[in-house]
Amino acid sequence: MASIDSQYGGTPSPVKTQIHYDEPETKSPPALSVGPLAWVRENLFSSFLDAIITVALTIGVIAVIIGLINWIVGEANWFVINNNLRLFLRGFYPDEHVWRLWVLFGVIAFLTGYSFASWSRIAPTTALVIVAFVIVTFIAPRLISSAIEAPPQYLAAGDIEIVSGSITERPQERVAFIADSGSDIRITLASDITATDETLADPAGFADRASAATFNAAANRLATQDRIAEIELELREGLLTEAQRETLAAELGMLEVPPTVLESLHINQSPVNLTILDGQTLEPLASSVLASPDDEFVFNVPIDGWYVLEKSVDGEGLGLLRAININPLIERTISRDDPEGGGSVSVNQYERMLDKFVVEQERPRIEGSNVPFLIITDNQYRGTRPFTSWLRMFVGPGLDLIDMGVLVFVVFGAIGYGASIVINQNFPRPHPTNRRYAAQVWGLRLWGLFPFIMLILLLGTGTRLWGGLLLTFFLTVFGIAISFPIGVLAALGRRSHLPIVKIVSVLYIEIVRGVPLITVLFLANLMVPLIHPSLATVPGVLRVTVGIILFTGAYLAENVRGGLQAIPPGQEEAAKAVGLNNFQVTWYITLPQALRAVIPALVGMFISLYKDTSLVVIVGLIDLTGAANSVIAQTEFIGLRREAFLFISVIYFVFSYIMSIVSRRIEASGAGAATQRL
């Protein structure tokens, strides 16, 4: 081959072949062209307006999240959940039959694990996370209680009146408390909060009535001081009318900053005498005098039971104490079978709020009168809670409450997971591409038996005491399980060519759909006994369940009918042309396709049913919402609606989200997408 020079009359030169043995350098694409940054640029910052909206929404979401976390950790009172978890989960279900609930819980865990293995797989990292969580639920409460000091209890001592606004309090000379053997009661002067009025107004711990009045007095003094400064600034710099100036001047004339609370009450300026008595014999067990911030009174508790703390001040003034392992109590009266004969007896229980330590001894009495104890209604937590106190007060005890349930769920779930694998390996595989077909078929059969298992276990007890999540779960399961075939039959009946069947189906669907659910519940609960007096003996739970089933079945029928109408008529004609009868055409051709087409609508309706069970509280049943109402009606937890309803909202969300995930999996599997992935 001649070179280019030869084509123009020049001297030909040989062509040199160059061979590159190294691969050319590969340059990465621009950072903003691919990957997450490209997605952010394209979807969130594609224009100036999009950027402004994105930034504004991000700031708003971050502010909401930060505020929610601050409230959850620093302000919310989760005692309402920890101390009433049993009521939230099972209502007043009798303790002697709780084993039935554990068996039912084990069955649910088994079926859950079985379903995971049949329709999906658990990654090794996920399995490790599950095992780690189980370990944490058992170890974390012990680590937290041993590593983090309990929040303090502030106690006032002395013979002095504490005035806070219109309230006047006087410290109690004696206070009773319960303690467990081996623990240390530690009491010091509250020097951590008595440096200034500012620290005195913002403590972090429990406080008795006299201490709370002291804190309020300091807070009121600071508020008055701030208000005076605010009025003076407005009078000096504000654009005010003459009337406004007169009003502010009059208000300023009525305001006067009192002396500091530390000075007026002479806080911790005199020695404080402390004595601990045995709660039963009133024998003195230990005593001490606290005269300086470095002094500490330590008492090792010999046995479980009641004790009495006597406190007094030498001279005038207020002694403000900081006590550890003396915590507020809840008093409950429970009924128990009499061990000496028939009937039942009432027993007073005193439960320590912080760690559920319970004493059933009679409370101490001196000179014929009960010694006052630290009841939670008079010893609320004051101030913003630090993160460590949140862990010690709520997280540790909460994990301690659920550790056994988590262990049972994981163990039986693992058994179910293994059972699915064994069935899949030992049963024939009739499906050519789906390697888990046998396990899936058996899984559907087991879930079909679950409502009957649940009914057998639960009907061994009276339904009157069912409540909480148990009742919500029962109504949901049977509302779905029984309304589904009723809805399918009603949908088919509405499309039937038999006049009587069609008329009955149409009347049922239209009448029920034209009435709100709450009306159906009232009819089931109040009107059914009017049909025949013997029906008055039917438990209200069963009557309400029937009403929910009929109501859900009518709505489900219309969803199924929509799916049937979406099937092209040519499929039915082709099926009949090959010799299938009407039943076979419906069972094998049209109904499976119709149900598959309306899976999202059906699951959406089931989720609505799960949430609508909260309406049964109106007819006197205590479901999950009813349990929340019962809890916040207790004297100890009045005003804690946010905590209770946030907790049940999380429960409603979790189960609703699980149902939506399952529906998407079923829909994908039914369409064949999941089979191709297997």
Query: Average pLDDT, stretch 647-668?
Result: 87
- Specify the range with the lowest mean pLDDT, choosing from 17-21, 194-198, 634-638: 17-21
DSSP letter string, 223-237: HHHHHHHHHHHHHHH
Spatial distance between the Cα atoms of 218 and 212, rounded to a whole number of angstroms? 10
Nearest to residue 447, comparing CAs of 183, 88, 115?
115
CATH of 461-678, one of 3.30.479.30, 1.10.3720.10, 3.10.20.30, 3.60.20.10: 1.10.3720.10
Q: Residue 110 above 80 pLDDT? A: yes
Q: By the 8 A CB rule, do 353 and 389 touch?
A: no
Q: Please, what is the Cα angle at 196 between 194 and 200, to 5 degrees? A: 55
When pLDDT is cut at 50, 70 and 90, the band that residue 116 belongs to is confident
Query: Average pLDDT, stretch 410-433?
Result: 82
Q: Which residue has the higher pLDDT, 188 or 238?
A: 188
Beta strands in 353-490 (DSSP E): 358-359, 365-366, 369-370, 381-382
Spatial distance between the Cα atoms of 460 and 163, rounded to a whole number of angstroms? 58
At 426 the pLDDT is 79
Q: Which residue has the higher pLDDT, 45 or 111?
A: 111
Spatial distance between the Cα atoms of 77 and 638, rounded to a whole number of angstroms? 11
When pLDDT is cut at 50, 70 and 90, the band that residue 671 belongs to is very low
H-run or E-run covering 100: helix 98-119
Spatial distance between the Cα atoms of 475 and 613, rounded to a whole number of angstroms? 7
For residue range 438-481, what is the model confidence (pLDDT) as tens digits? 788 888 889 989 999 998 988 877 778 889 999 999 999 999 99
For residue range 231-272, what is the model confidence (pLDDT) as tens digits? 888 888 877 888 888 898 898 888 888 889 998 899 999 999
Query: Average pLDDT, stretch 125-142?
Result: 92
Please give the structure tokens belonging to residue 109. Answer: 């865990």
Beta bridge partners of 322: 154, 188
Spatial distance between the Cα atoms of 83 and 329, rounded to a whole number of angstroms? 11
When pLDDT is cut at 50, 70 and 90, the band that residue 118 belongs to is confident
Q: Residue 353 above 50 pLDDT? A: yes
Q: Residue 656 above 70 pLDDT? A: yes
Would you kindly state where each structural domain of the chain is located, as residue ranges? Answer: 152-380, 461-678
At 579 the pLDDT is 85
At 678 the pLDDT is 37
For residue range 601-618, what is the model confidence (pLDDT) as tens digits? 888 899 999 999 999 998
Spatial distance between the Cα atoms of 415 and 106, rounded to a whole number of angstroms? 10
Spatial distance between the Cα atoms of 150 and 386, rounded to a whole number of angstroms? 12
When pLDDT is cut at 50, 70 and 90, the band that residue 377 belongs to is confident
The CA-based diameter of the chain, rounded to the nearest angstrom, is: 134
Q: By the 8 A CB rule, do 402 and 644 touch?
A: no
At 650 the pLDDT is 94
Q: Which residue has the higher pLDDT, 441 or 209?
A: 209
Query: Average pLDDT, stretch 141-165?
Result: 90
Please give the structure tokens belonging to residue 89. Answer: 């989960």
Q: Residue 674 above 50 pLDDT? A: no
Spatial distance between the Cα atoms of 110 and 101, rounded to a whole number of angstroms? 14
When pLDDT is cut at 50, 70 and 90, the band that residue 578 belongs to is confident
Spatial distance between the Cα atoms of 476 and 613, rounded to a whole number of angstroms? 7
Spatial distance between the Cα atoms of 308 and 285, rounded to a whole number of angstroms? 10
Q: Residue 122 above 50 pLDDT? A: yes
Nearest to residue 290, comparing CAs of 273, 277, 276?
273
User: Mean pLDDT across the chain, nearest whole number?
Assistant: 87
